[in-house]
Amino acid sequence: MSSLYIGIMSGTSLDGIDLVLVRFGPRPQDKLQPELLDSLLCPFSELLRQQLSQLAQSGPNELELMGQVEQQLALAYADAIKQLLAKAKVAAEQISAIGCHGQTIRHRPYAQFPFTYQIGDMFRLAAQTQIRVIADFRRKDMAYGGQGAPLVPAFHKAIFAKPDSYRAILNIGGIANITLLQPNMPVRGFDTGPGNGLMDNWIQQQGLGLYDKDGLYAASGVVQQDLLANLLSDPYFQLQGPKSTGREYFNPQWLAHKLLANTYAAADVQRTLTRFTAESIKIALVNEAIEELFVCGGGAYNKVLFSDLQQLLPAVRLQQTASLGIKADDVEAMAFAWLAYAYDHKIPGNIPEVTGARKAVVLGAEFTY
């Protein structure tokens, strides 16, 4: 008998809640592609988006704000799930579990006592939906010495690996991460650096929308090579994996420090930030003879960024993950549906070569209604 799971992802782009409804086969050893039955994107309210953005940085009374926002977020997740179930014409009692990533507000893998926080009251989510919730996926990996990120490579391996081709899966959200699927070798993966986050912050500061749709604003500018070199000088890009980062590091304050007193045209900064994301991905792949690169996440739709990647990686066949059967928007949410399935079937959800953990472990915790 097959099992139905819901996956929820609200990532560092802060664009909203991505949900998927997935059917998995009856046996953990099944190699069959999970069946995506339906999906939905529910944008954040402007107030919730602003509050989540505020929580990504230290500020006054942030604990009080976190407590309030955590409840709002759980209610937003629950409302989105009810919309998805209505759309798919599926009853709550048919769902085995919800796999929910939560919203990252802090990720400090290099602190003296490393920690990561993903908020959203999962007990409230379970109570509101009357469905079990599997969440808190990152902290067990950290307990075993890992960075708690990235977690999607185990899912990428399960459904995208090909025995006769060196593939990479590139997710471009607020932060970009890469999974390296080299035949007959351990899976590797890490955060390459900024994805859409800095670009989104910049265009918002100009009052031109929440993100640069299709890269049209970037296309009106010119790459400033001195600024690009300054951005790429950050020590993060010289680190070897395992490594991970977040918007609490690559944030507007980080960019302001790089800009200093230089007065670049706003469109030129946007164009340079787009190239910066592409160049940082190229750095991550400089010693990798990959044949195919499949892109997912919101950045897959940025035509200027996609073109930059094609120019910088001319020997690589570059496509969206849709060519593998899963739309770019759905991959991460589907990964957390799979992580909930993996929790139920005692399948390890981390890869030590990716996160740096001492061993592979089953990830997550169960929240019941």
Residues placed in the known binding site for ATP: 11-18
Burial class (CB in 10 A: 0-12, 13-18, 19+), 26: exposed
| Alpha carbon distances (Å) from 266 to 104, 208, 270 | 29, 11, 6
Nearest to 245 by CA among 297, 187, 180, 177: 177
The three state secondary structure string of 23-38 is EECCCCCCCCCCEEEE
Annotated binding site: 11-18
Reading the block at residue 295, the tokens are 């892109």
